[in-house]
Amino acid sequence: MAGSTQTVELPNARRRRIWSRAGTTGRPPRERGDRRRSFILTLIAVLVLAAFLSPLLKSFTVAIKTSEQVTQPGSPLWPADPVTFAWQGEELPILLVPIDGTTRQLALLEPGRQQSTFIDPAAPDAPPITWQGAWRTLDHVWVFAPHWENFGKVWTLIDFPRLLFNTVAIAIIGTIGTLLSCTLVAYGFARFRFPGRGVLFTLLIATIFLPGAVTIIPTYTIFVKLGWVGTWLPLLVPAFFANAFDVFLMRQYFMTIPTEMDEAAAIDGAGPFRTLWSVLLPQAWPVVIAVAIFHLVYSWNDFFGPLIYLSTKPELQTLAIGLQRFNGIHYRDPGLIQAGTLMTLIIPVVAFLLTQRFFTRGLVVTGVEK
């Protein structure tokens, strides 16, 4: 469009169309008579998707297993407990024992390397059965038994409420800063002509491609000298100085809004701030939501920042860092680790599912990953 003044127009950001109604162009109408192709393709997509998301299921099954089961070879994929048989005050494990060509479920009375004795739970008073062979080669009988207690254990062990509070607080303050600063900067680039605008906008976009390593050393050093390391400030303050992704996203949206209303407002005596507040922003709420969600998820998932700035202060850390610390301590207990992992990812995932339309459209406009 004519308003895209100069420079690095990111390819394929077909703004207006994308925001107004996504997904209708370019798709030929569905023809009749190709049900079979539909079926096959949809089936393939389901299989690929199942493989793609299977790690989540794996994590979930581990989270609701006991650690004994996770470490036991030959145990089922689903959460289960070994079946036992109460006999004279003892819990005897029930094993699958091949005897005389059939497999019987027998309770292990006396384990041995060469031979073991079993009793039949169906007839406990009958004399014990002796079986030749190594009992360790026999499989257990399992019964489905999800263990939800891992989630509760993680809640207290990791001090989940504290980490959750820190994560939410940092995310919300950062989001406020991002919304404030990016709105102003995007408004400046979208609606005002000033010498050097083209160069500055190019510079803004170029920062997307800048490797973080080239700025981190002095930045970290300055934060050390300011005494900010070990506080939230290094994570919060930069958010108030805008960032290229969100500015680009908002500017593109502002430019799709006709300028006539700005001009009308100006004639009515509205200053630039008033025009932004009462003309542009009421029309721009989808992009405001998109930027807010972007920053919330970004902040929630940020790892490197909290890692370098909060490593000495457990009481100030976020979920991401808390989870890493937790993994360092409890790595021998996969059930706990995976429970903590799921508790960390559930909120951004739900937030995304609730707002996915804004989220994906925002992503399309920048054509950029955050």
Partner 1 sequence: MTASGAVRRRTGTRFSGLAWRRARWGYLFIAPWLIGFVLFTAFPMVATFVFTLTNINLAQETPLRFVGLENYQDMLNDKQAWAALGVTAKYALLALPVAVILPLLVALMLHSRHLRGAGAFRVLFFLPYVVPFIAGVLIWGSMLSSSTGWINAFLQGIGIAHPPAWLEDPAWIYQGLVIMGVWGIGAGVIVYLAGLKGIPSELYDAARIDGAGAWASTRHITIPMMSPVIFYTLVLGVVEVLQYFLVPLVLKNGTGEPGGSTLFFNLYIYQNFFTFQNMAYGATLAWVLFAISLVLTLLLFGLSRRWVYYAGEAR
Which residues, numbered 24-63, are part of the site for partner 1 (CB under 8 A)?
Answer: 24-30, 34, 37-38, 41-42, 44-45, 48-49, 52-56, 58-59, 62
Element (H, E) at 138: none
Of residues 147, 105, 152, 149, the one with CA closest to residue 129: 105
Rounded to 5 degrees, φ, ψ at 28 are -65, 150
CB–CB of 294/359 below 8 Å? Answer: yes
Q: Among the candidate windows 96-104, 131-139, 237-245, 283-291, which touches partner 1 by CB under 8 A?
A: 237-245
Q: Is 368 in the site for partner 1 (CB under 8 A)?
A: yes
With binding defined as CB under 8 A, does residue 227 bind partner 1?
A: no
Q: Is 14 in the site for partner 1 (CB under 8 A)?
A: yes
Residue 216 touching partner 1 (CB under 8 A): yes
CB closer to partner 1 out of 23 and 89: 23
Q: Which is nearer to partner 1, 79 or 334 (CB)?
A: 334
Task: Name the segment binding partner 1 (CB under 8 A); options: 110-118, 145-153, 182-190, 283-291.
Answer: 182-190
Beta bridge partners of 116: 131
Binders of partner 1 in range 252-311 (CB under 8 A): 254-255, 259, 262-263, 272, 297, 300-304, 308
Per CB under 8 A, the segment of 135-143, 158-166, 219-227, 281-289 that binds partner 1 is 219-227
Instruction: Pick the stretch among 21-29, 126-134, 138-146, 281-289 that binds partner 1 (CB under 8 A).
Output: 21-29
What are the strands, taking DSSP E only, across the chain? 80-82, 84-87, 90-99, 102-110, 115-119, 129-132, 139-140, 142-144
Token output for 155: 């809640």
Place of tokens 């002095």: 218
Q: How far apart are CA 362 and CA 54, in angstroms?
A: 27
CA distances from 325 to 70, 220, 337 (A): 21, 22, 11
- Nearest CA to 330 among 127, 322, 342? 322
Longest dimension (CA), the chain: 103
CA 79, chain centre distance (Å): 24
Options 86-94, 101-109, 117-125, 345-353: segment touching partner 1 (CB under 8 A) = 345-353
What is the phi-psi region of residue 169: left when phi exceeds 0, alpha when psi lies from -120 to 50, beta otherwise?
A: alpha
Q: Is 231 in the site for partner 1 (CB under 8 A)?
A: no
The CA distance from 82 to 30, in Å, is 53
**Residue 137 Cβ vs partner 1, minimum distance, rounded to whole Å:** 18
Count of residues of this chain found to bind partner 1 when the rule CB under 8 A is applied: 118
CB of 334 to partner 1, least distance (A): 6
Among 79, 82, 174, 188, binds partner 1 (CB under 8 A): 188
Comparison of 37 and 115: residue with beta carbon closer to partner 1: 37
Q: How far is the CB of 191 from partner 1 (least distance, A)?
A: 5
Contact residue for partner 1 among 33, 101, 211, 282 (CB under 8 A)? 211
Burial class (CB in 10 A: 0-12, 13-18, 19+), 152: exposed
Residue 174 as a binder of partner 1 (CB under 8 A): the answer is: no
| Residue 362: CA count within 13 A, CB half-sphere | 26
Compute φ and ψ for 339, nearest 5 degrees. Answer: -65, -45
Verify binding: residue 168, partner 1, rule CB under 8 A. no
Question: Which residue lies nearer to partner 1 by CB, 42 or 103?
Answer: 42
